[in-house]
Amino acid sequence: MKALIDILAKEHRLSKADYLLLLTHHQDEDLSSYLFEKARQTANHLFGHQIYTRGLIEFTNYCKQDCYYCGIRRSNTEAARYRLTLEDILSCTEIGYHLGFRTFVLQGGEDGHFQDDTICDILTAIKSQHPNCAITLSIGEKSRLSYERFFKAGADRYLLRHETANLAHYSQLHPASQSLEQRKQCLYDLKAIGYQVGTGFMVGSPYQTFDTLCEDLLFIQDFKPHMVGIGPFIPHQATPFKDHSAGTLSLTLFLIGLLRLILPNGLIPATTALGTIDPQGREKGILAGANVVMPNLSPVGVRKKYSLYNNKICTGEEAAECWACLNNRLKQIGYSLAVNRGDFSPL
């Protein structure tokens, strides 16, 4: 089995049968330590001990979509909805810049209130405030024309997880109005326009199997995104999946290790969801090959309202506390937060 990891480290791809074999043994500690060691070596070789940092601004929790897993889905009438103003957003980026953030991620539900012009105004304003910063958008499925407009207005990167590469599984996670084909088309459009593109999936989402996970890995090795965000599925009490169990730490870490070997220079975050299922989750993610963290820059007053899943961490801390806390945590494992844009760079 270790031989498969050696092949993956060299060739950056495997067959479905090989991935399946590895995944079924993800709890074998000897194997996972071997994988993490290789993944860490790969990351350290390319990025040193610097962890790229993205300031996450959750600027709206209104969403017209209805994903069964998500706490801000349209049908959740218990959600307290909010939108940040341009001034709110600029004050987040200002605070973030002084702390050392050089990438801002604007994330939100699919909120019709923010028309393309408004998004472009936000992008232009941030770029004129901080021309040396990168902006990542994560606002869901849009037309190619909209993506082109955002790119011209200053968006550098786009995060859109494919969620699952298996058709039947996609329809178990989403209502019929949402399609995998459309989701993938968005990813192809984004890449063609010139964005640094991120995709990804939840680990342990309801009805996921090792087989569907292999399809995710095959999709990623073929699509070659610049970034891959994965984190455990965590149930939210006001969604149809409230009684499903969360994804596990061991499988999430194992997948981070595999992804590092598939995409040696990929930008792979140790996500907040990972830090939510285990107090040391983000550190463990980095030691399994991740090289990005995305602390929250949203105003503390709205943090709890951007509730995608239960018990999300860091909803009470100010941005400065998050930066200091993460830097301390990273120091303890021999890493530190980088003060730069942290762009993707080709091998």
Binding positions for (3R)-3-methyl-D-ornithine are: 138
- Give the residue, chosen from 110, 116, 317, 318, that forms a contact with ligand FES under the rule CB under 6 A: 110
What is the dihedral angle through the alpha carbons of 7, 281, 290, 154, rounded to the nearest 10 degrees? 140
Q: Nearest-5° angle of CA 293, CA 305, CA 142? A: 70
Please answer whether residues 229 and 306 qualify as being in contact, where contact means their C-beta atoms are separated by less than 8 angstroms.
no
Kindly identify the residues of this chain, within the stretch 235-264, that bind ligand SAM according to CB under 6 A.
Answer: 236
- Binding-site members are 63, 67, 70, 138, 163, 183
CA distance 136 to 134: 7
Please answer whether residues 288 and 40 qualify as being in contact, where contact means their C-beta atoms are separated by less than 8 angstroms.
yes
Residue nearest to ligand FES (CB): 67
Residue 31 or 70: the one with the smaller Cβ distance to ligand FES is 70
Residue 99 or 292: the one with the smaller Cβ distance to ligand SAM is 292
Please answer whether residues 228 and 264 qualify as being in contact, where contact means their C-beta atoms are separated by less than 8 angstroms.
no
Q: Which tokens sit at 37?
A: 């060691």
161 contributes a contact to ligand SAM by CB under 6 A: yes
Which positions ≥6 away from 201 have C-beta within 8 Å? 161, 162, 163, 164, 165, 216, 230
83 contributes a contact to ligand FES by CB under 6 A: no
236 contributes a contact to ligand FES by CB under 6 A: no
161 contributes a contact to ligand FES by CB under 6 A: no
Q: What are phi and psi of 50, to 5 degrees?
A: -95, 135
Contact stretch for ligand FES (CB under 6 A) within 12-20, 61-69, 116-124, 319-327:
61-69
Q: What are phi and psi of 272, to 5 degrees?
A: -60, -35
DSSP state of 17: H
79 contributes a contact to ligand FES by CB under 6 A: no
70 contributes a contact to ligand FES by CB under 6 A: yes
- Give the residue, chosen from 14, 70, 268, 338, that forms a contact with ligand SAM under the rule CB under 6 A: 70
- Give the residue, chosen from 23, 165, 173, 202, that forms a contact with ligand SAM under the rule CB under 6 A: 202
CA distance 208 to 64: 25
Q: Which of ligand FES, ligand SAM, none does 273 bind, CB closer than 5 to 8 A by kind?
A: ligand SAM
Q: Nearest-5° angle of CA 106, CA 259, CA 135? A: 20
CA distance 265 to 42: 8
CA distance 213 to 215: 5
295 contributes a contact to ligand FES by CB under 6 A: no
148 contributes a contact to ligand SAM by CB under 6 A: no
Question: What is the nearest approach in angstroms of ligand FES to the Cβ of residue 91?
Answer: 25
273 contributes a contact to ligand FES by CB under 6 A: no
What are the residues binding ligand SAM (CB under 6 A)?
A: 69-70, 107, 109-110, 138-140, 160-161, 163, 202, 231, 233-234, 236, 273, 308-309
Q: Residue numbers of the site for ligand FES (CB under 6 A)?
A: 63, 65-67, 70, 72-73, 109-110, 140
